[in-house]
Structure 1
Amino acid sequence: MDCYLDPSAAGFAAFKALPRDEPIHMLNLLRFRDRAEYPADHPNAGKGWSGQEAYTEYGHTSGPIFQRVGGRIAWRGAFQVMLIGPEDRQWDDGFVAEYPNSAAFLEMVTDPEYRKAVVNRTAAVLDSRLIRFNPGKGSGNRF
């Protein structure tokens, strides 16, 4: 099973090439590790946290930065079953983060305090997907 934790160089370049002045939604799908995996010298190493606990810490430490740049959680749900897609893919958490624009997202991920906080995400997450959507460019209520 391939696991994904960080953006690829090509994916990040494509993200940055899109318009930066319109609202964006970021679909987050997360699968947590059974046990968080911190670097040995990190203050949270050795606490015996689960991946979920380490992700909760990520929320506590990155949340103020997320809010400062204008981010909010637009939707959150609990995974139940995969109807279309690989049956071995199960997600522990799924949510849509809304940003006023992609510049706000870029401001967040380059913030020095965020870079410290993201260690908790890396320790917590076994596999993830992060998909950018433009909420204003959908097809309305039609299929």
Structure 2
Amino acid sequence: MYVFPTDQQIEEFTSGDPDLPILMVNLVRFRENAFYPDGSDHVPCSGREAFEERYARNASIIAEKIGARLLIGEAVKNIFIGPMDENWDRFYLIWYPNTQVFLDLLVTPAYLELAVHRVAGLLDSRIYKCDGSGVEL
């Protein structure tokens, strides 16, 4: 299960030219039921609802305010090439004007309030940083 980056991944992510646009490829797999910490006052829901409705919908609004753009967010239908046991529920492609904008998003107070729903809803995820300089918006 991968929901958070390692220290090494953070170091590699922040290396390179910080001014180049980036694309973040996100693959997510939802829990059947969202898992909130004991004592949480969040109403129980599915992992899909926690991630899509409580987290992603609102996080994309915050991200757009600082210059990011959700290019696509769609259900994954099936695997064409790859391990048959690595099924994903959704695929997101998000453009950021640079690495710092992405890092700024992660510490925005409004985003931090939503992050609990991301963690509660995800069973597993992959996020890949790609060159976004060729994207036409």
Secondary structure at the residue paired with 2:126? strand
1:109 paired to 2:110:
no
Letter in 2 for 1:48: P
1:134 paired to 2:131:
yes
Specify which of 16, 19, 26 is matched with residue 18 of structure 1.
16
Equivalent position of 2:68 in the other structure: 71
1:54 paired to 2:11:
no
1:48, CA displacement in angstroms? 2.5
1:63, CA displacement in angstroms? 3.0
1:124 paired to 2:121:
yes
Which sections of structure 1, spanning at least 5 residues, go unmatched?
A: 139-143
Superposition TM-score, scaled by structure 2 size: 0.90
The ranges of structure 1 where at least 4 consecutive aligned residues each deviate by more than 3 angstroms after the TM superposition are none
Identity %: 33
Cα displacement string for residues 10-45 of structure 1 (whole angstroms, at most 9, x for unaligned residues): 01110111211111100000000000001123221x
Q: Distance in 2 between matches of 1:66 and 1:113?
A: 10
Letter in 1 for 2:36: Y
Superposition TM-score, scaled by structure 1 size: 0.86
Letter in 2 for 1:118: A
Equivalent residues of 2:20, 2:132 under 8 A apart: no
Specify which of 25, 30, 33 is matched with residue 32 of structure 1.
30
Equivalent residues of 2:60, 2:70 under 8 A apart: no
Equivalent position of 1:96 in the other structure: 93
Alignment of 1:2-13 (within 5 A): 3-13=1-11
1:9, CA displacement in angstroms? 0.8
Q: Distance in 2 between matches of 1:15 and 1:105?
A: 11
